[in-house]
Amino acid sequence: HLMITSALYGVIPAFAPIAPHRLDFLMKLKIAGKSLKSHWQSAYEESVKGEELIFSLLSSEFENVFPKDIREKMVTFKFMEDRDGKLKVHSTISKKARGTFLTALMKDQVTSVEEIKKLSFAGFTYRNDLSS
Q: Look at residue 91 in the predicted model and tell me its pLDDT.
A: 87
pLDDT at 19: 94
Q: What is the residue extent of each domain of the chain?
A: 1-13+29-76, 78-127
d(CA 28, CA 73): 29
pLDDT at 18 over 90: yes
Q: Which are the contacts of 21, defined by CB distance < 8 A and separation ≥ 6?
A: 6, 8
Q: Is the pLDDT of residue 1 over 80?
A: no
pLDDT tens, 60-109? 889 999 999 999 999 999 999 988 999 999 888 888 999 999 999 999 99
The model's confidence at residue 14, banded by pLDDT at 50, 70 and 90, is confident
Name the DSSP letter for residue 1: -
β-pairing, 54-56 vs 120-121, is unpaired
In this prediction the pTM is 0.80
Q: What is the pLDDT of residues 95-123, one digit of tens each?
A: 899 999 999 999 999 888 899 999 988 88
5, 62 contact by CB (below 8 A): yes
